[in-house]
A and B are shown apart, each in its own frame.
Chain A
Amino acid sequence: MNKNLTHLQQLEAESIHILREVVSEFSNPVMLYSIGKDSAVMLHLARKAFYPAPPPFPLLHVDTTWKFREMIQFRDRMAAECGLDLIVHVNEEGVRQGVSPFTHGALYTDIMKTEGLKQALDRYKFDAAFGGARRDEEKSRAKERIFSFRSANHRWDPKDQRPELWKLYNTRIKPGESIRVFPISNWTELDVWQYIHLEQIPIVPLYYAAVRPVVERDGMLIMVDDERLELKPGETVQYKSVRFRTLGCYPLTAAVESEANTLPQIIQEMLLTRTSERQGRMIDHDSAGSMEKKKQEGYF
């Protein structure tokens, strides 16, 4: 083995080191599992890090109740296959109040995702939570540490982050405080896809093109995943070959028209388009710095 390690081998080693560090130093870690491709890679790395043992922490999914049905099926299958406990948390208060992406706009994300996440972290008293965020996704993420400190109120203070040097991560917290850990911080979208390809990591079928029912709304294609999507005047359900570059709540996640139904085709399409992946997520569009605000308030 006289060759240099490839970039993916180096990224993999870095991520595994981070995963092991958390398990060594925290008493009650959890992995935030969002079912998307980044979560898929993170879960795969966790299996590698602790092999032959299963990853010694549960998966947590904060379910807004508006996820694609195929995501939920995939989630349950993966947890069972990996031998991991799966905690599904729903903000019941939000459900009781009838909070939905159609009626509550930006507030919906705050209540069902951010609040739901805080509830779950408080309830189970997790002291460390893995997230699949990458620094190349969005500007405010570029400056976030791999081990990102959160106050007892789950707030992130971008002006008071701990310096992070070498591979030495400061894992010390006081009771009630926690750390969000991003093992794939240094991966790009292409790295993630390439790794999925090389390692043959299973992903939700929604990433592959298929004929699906969609409506065109505000210039985006929204999939009609269940009967809760009410058509507005003038909207009609069309059947188009579409796929998703990113997965979230179906009424907020735009599909792209595509014929790519193999992994290499998906990567090909990704490389040839010049639109960054988060554009499909409406959450970033509110205002400049919107993600930074959300993160300060506790959004992952």
Chain B
Amino acid sequence: MAHQSELIEQDILAYLKSHEEKTLLRFITCGSVDDGKSTLIGRLLWDSKMVFEDQLVSLEADSKKVGTQGGAIDYALLMDGLQAEREQGITIDVAYRYFSTERRKFIVADTPGHEQYTRNMVTGASTAQVAIILVDARKGLLTQTRRHSFLVSLVGIRHIVLAVNKMDLIDFDEKKFEAIRQDYGQFAASLGFGDITAIPLSALNGDNMIEPSANTPWYTGQTLMNYLESVQIEGEDREKPFRMPVQWVNRPNLDFRGFCGVIAAGTIRPGDELRVASSGRTSRVARIVTMDGDLPEATAGQAITLTLVDEIDVSRGDMLTVPDAPPIHARHPEAHLVWMHDEPLQPGQIYLVKTATAVTPGRVTAVPYAVDVNTLEQKQVPTLGLNEIGVVRLELDRPIAFDTYQQNRDTGSFILIDRFSNATVAAGMVIAAAPMEPQNAPLTGFGPDLTDAQGGLPRQISLSEASISGTGVSVVDLTGEWGSIEFDVSTSFLDYLGKGNRILFRLRDLAQLAAVAQLAYQQTLSFEFDRTAYGVSILLFKRGIRSASSVSGDDGIGI
């Protein structure tokens, strides 16, 4: 660890002073095992002199033993932490790495590029400000490049480095680099990134990593390290309306009542008026209290304790905000949901929804659509499985305060926790306070009209094993059916419902509802009706049966 060795040797106090002013940048690297991602991070650590001699000795030993570089230093081994992974030759989880230069401290989230680990990437990206998207120069953009880019944009990262790696293997061909850069620009146009910086690299040989490479005289842009040291990370959170989720109420004695939390947006000073999101009550800031004395001002990112002039009711779970730009306070937010658990989402089942401060029981009432992370196309699904991403509607037990994720990553995000296993099953990002109003034409034909407009017989829809897709919820899409319908039900289909599985009917119009209602009447079934911006759906199920494929029931709440 010997950057700035001279200054350290000659004037340690000056060195320490200069390092007090460093800022912090968190970034994520996205790519597959083969793109040289671990090598790239290993190299950054190496070149910023963050590798110690004893680590070097073990790195050399490991390189000979399990390395992939024919006994030469395998930088990737600096990154591969857990033993089992080392033996498999892949990283399987999120790992965090640290290095610093004269200007910045860096926290790198390293996540696997392997398909089934989308959840890890979302996890690593959730705290990152910059994403490095690795591309193998020989292969150009791959499906996974698009997937990573989509995930990164979903999680709200605005600054992208397109790291075109292994340039040495295509003889540093400018044309090929340029083609990849343009391809990517076209593809990413819809993803809403703030900026995209393409850099031709060889992580293994160090080209354009720290110093400009002599092999790419045609490239005049920044090296990777230059970029990381200088990229401007918006301090715009402090300009936004004040938000502080109350994390803890500090009451050491009768005379002191402090509200603790991290400021999620804005700036606050004593005297400023604040509003409690849940009650609408207002008061003014009396003091901003710290162990080192009161502060004249505090801003986004700081963990503070403030006291108010009036005694008003504030507790953990509340949010203190400016009075004139309050957050959303609602029960039915619509959100992007990334499903992270082996057990698929059970629509209707109660989960715990943890937001910036509050934990509230709630459930997913509808999955209007899922997004195919490879094609970015929307698709109709009954539910979300591991690593699937969709738009969902939530119903919370009580209204809570939040912002849209686009406005604020801290007050617009949440996780879902399974009440029984306590697993973190999903990550959510609020899109809006409530579903958008339907854009489609007004619904017509309401009422039990079982005959076709042309006077013909109702069309028979067969419900049999063929309609069933796995355990949990199966979808029967009726949106393509025109005219009146009726159902022909098989015994195995009824058995399926009897085992606690559910059928989600997507309806074209309300006329179809009558057919579903009749089926429920004849077979003693129950259903739940849901209308969203995307249409009408009916969830059909047998009441009093434990839901299938889950250890948990829904306790008779809701469906």
Chain A residues in the interface with B (C-beta under 8 A): 1, 4-14, 16-17, 20-21, 23-24, 47-54, 135-136, 139-140, 142-143, 158-159, 161-168, 170, 172-174, 185-186, 188, 190-191, 194, 197-198, 264-265, 267-268, 270-276, 279, 288-289, 292
B93 x A143 contact (CB < 8 A) = yes
Shortest C-beta distance, B339 to chain A (Å), equals 11
* Residues on the A chain within 8 Å of B281, using CB: none
Can you identify 13 A-B contacts, CB atoms within 8 angstroms? A1-B297, A10-B24, A139-B81, A188-B100, A190-B100, A197-B16, A264-B12, A268-B9, A270-B1, A274-B2, A275-B52, A288-B83, A289-B83
One of B12, B299, B415 near A268 (C-beta < 8 A):
B12
1/0 per residue B280-295: CB within 8 Å of A? 0000000001110000
Does B23 make an interface contact (CB < 8 A)?
A: yes
B316 x A52 contact (CB < 8 A) = no
A48 x B290 contact (CB < 8 A) = yes
Shortest C-beta distance, A147 to chain B (Å), equals 10
B52 x A274 contact (CB < 8 A) = yes
Cα distance, A186 to B106, chains bound together (Å): 10
Q: Which residue of B lies closest to A169 (CB)?
A: B354
* Residues on the A chain within 8 Å of B52, using CB: 274-276, 279
Does B97 make an interface contact (CB < 8 A)?
A: yes
One of B260, B356, B422 near A174 (C-beta < 8 A):
B422
Cα distance, A173 to B419, chains bound together (Å): 10
Q: Which residue of B lies closest to A54 (CB)?
A: B252
Q: What range describes how many residues of B lie at the interface?
A: 35 or more
A166 x B409 contact (CB < 8 A) = yes
* Residues on the B chain within 8 Å of A20, using CB: 247-248, 260-261, 303
Cα distance, A264 to B107, chains bound together (Å): 25
Main secondary structure of the interface of B (DSSP, over half): mixed
For chain B residues 290-320, which have a beta carbon within 8 Å of chain A?
Answer: 290-291, 297, 299, 301-303, 305, 316
Cα distance, A167 to B410, chains bound together (Å): 7
B303 x A13 contact (CB < 8 A) = yes
Cα distance, A10 to B247, chains bound together (Å): 17
Shortest C-beta distance, A215 to chain B (Å), equals 22
User: With A6-B20, A11-B24, A188-B98 as given contacts, are A51 and B53 in contact (CB-CB < 8 Å)?
Assistant: no
- Apart from A6-B20, A135-B98, list 10 A-B contacts with CB within 8 A: A23-B248, A24-B316, A49-B303, A51-B290, A158-B93, A161-B93, A197-B16, A271-B1, A274-B2, A288-B62
Shortest C-beta distance, B203 to chain A (Å), equals 19
One of A14, A47, A52 near B256 (C-beta < 8 A):
A52
* Residues on the A chain within 8 Å of B213, using CB: none
Does B151 make an interface contact (CB < 8 A)?
A: no
Cα distance, A268 to B522, chains bound together (Å): 82
* Residues on the B chain within 8 Å of A174, using CB: 422
Cα distance, A264 to B302, chains bound together (Å): 27
* Residues on the A chain within 8 Å of B356, using CB: 167-168
One of B8, B24, B422 near A7 (C-beta < 8 A):
B24
A163 x B98 contact (CB < 8 A) = no
One of A162, A170, A194 near B16 (C-beta < 8 A):
A194
A170 x B417 contact (CB < 8 A) = yes
Does B115 make an interface contact (CB < 8 A)?
A: no
Cα distance, A47 to B55, chains bound together (Å): 35
* Residues on the A chain within 8 Å of B454, using CB: none
A143 x B81 contact (CB < 8 A) = yes
A47 x B291 contact (CB < 8 A) = yes
Cα distance, A167 to B264, chains bound together (Å): 11
B23 x A12 contact (CB < 8 A) = no
* Residues on the B chain within 8 Å of A136, using CB: 97-98
Does B184 make an interface contact (CB < 8 A)?
A: no
* Residues on the B chain within 8 Å of A5, using CB: 23-24, 299, 301-302
Residue with the greatest number of chain A CB neighbours at <10 A, chosen from B93, B100, B233, B356:
B93
* Residues on the A chain within 8 Å of B248, using CB: 20, 23-24
Shortest C-beta distance, A279 to chain B (Å), equals 5
Cα distance, A143 to B120, chains bound together (Å): 11
Does B104 make an interface contact (CB < 8 A)?
A: yes
One of B49, B305, B354 near A168 (C-beta < 8 A):
B354
* Residues on the B chain within 8 Å of A12, using CB: 303
One of A158, A165, A274 near B427 (C-beta < 8 A):
A165
Shortest C-beta distance, B71 to chain A (Å), equals 17
Does B414 make an interface contact (CB < 8 A)?
A: yes
B291 x A4 contact (CB < 8 A) = no
Q: Which residue of A lies closest to B51 (CB)?
A: A274
User: With A4-B235, A143-B95, A168-B354 as given contacts, are A163 and B340 in contact (CB-CB < 8 Å)?
Assistant: yes
Shortest C-beta distance, B105 to chain A (Å), equals 4
One of A51, A142, A172, A268 near B8 (C-beta < 8 A):
A268
Cα distance, A190 to B99, chains bound together (Å): 10
* Residues on the B chain within 8 Å of A168, using CB: 354-356, 413-415
* Residues on the B chain within 8 Å of A270, using CB: 1
Does B250 make an interface contact (CB < 8 A)?
A: yes
A279 x B54 contact (CB < 8 A) = yes
Q: Which residue of A lies closest to B61 (CB)?
A: A288
Does B126 make an interface contact (CB < 8 A)?
A: yes
Cα distance, A63 to B302, chains bound together (Å): 36
Shortest C-beta distance, A175 to chain B (Å), equals 12
